């Protein structure tokens, strides 16, 4: 899945270079935007129920900040953890639930 590949790319870039002016920051923004969009598709409704209410709210809130509020509203440390730790965990959980 492309979202998971993008999280790996961000993680491999290292936290030191993860700033609002880096290309990996933009990739991280796209990760959250794409994940939020995926969860809004009706065909993924059953899988979305695997996530907690807090996880869904956090994804939507982070997406809104990344897409609309700009970088000033983003805590870079929390954003890094979200994209390199929490999102991959969510993606793996979703992938494990999908029929093969």
Structure confidence by residue, pLDDT tens digits, 74-96: 889 999 999 999 999 999 998 88
Whether 59 has a pLDDT exceeding 80, the answer reads yes
Predicted local distance difference test score (pLDDT) of residue 92? 92
- The pLDDT-based confidence of 68 (bands split at 50, 70, 90) is confident
Question: Is 92 part of a structural domain of the chain?
Answer: yes
DSSP state of 86: I
Print the SS3 string covering 25-85.
Answer: HHHHHHHHHHHHHHHHCHHHHHHHCCCCHHHHHHHHHHHHHHHHHCHHHCCHHHHHHHHHH
Question: Is 93 part of a structural domain of the chain?
Answer: yes
Question: Is 47 part of a structural domain of the chain?
Answer: yes
pTM of the model: 0.87
Instruction: Identify the domain containing residue 67 by its residue range.
Output: 2-6+25-97
- What average pLDDT does range 14-23 have in this prediction? 92
Count the domains in the chain: 1
Question: Is 85 part of a structural domain of the chain?
Answer: yes
Question: Is 81 part of a structural domain of the chain?
Answer: yes
């Amino acid at each position: 899945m492309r979202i998971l590949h993008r999280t790996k790319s961000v993680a491999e870039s290292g936290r030191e270079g993860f700033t609002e002016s880096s290309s990996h920051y933009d990739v991280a923004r796209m990760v959250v935007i794409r994940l939020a969009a995926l969860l809004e598709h009706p065909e993924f409704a059953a899988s979305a129920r695997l996530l907690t209410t807090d996880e869904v709210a956090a994804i939507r809130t982070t997406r809104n900040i990344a897409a609309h509020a700009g970088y000033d509203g983003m805590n870079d440390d929390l954003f890094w953890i979200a994209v390199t730790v929490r999102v991959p965990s969510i993606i793996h959980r979703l992938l494990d639930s999908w029929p093969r």
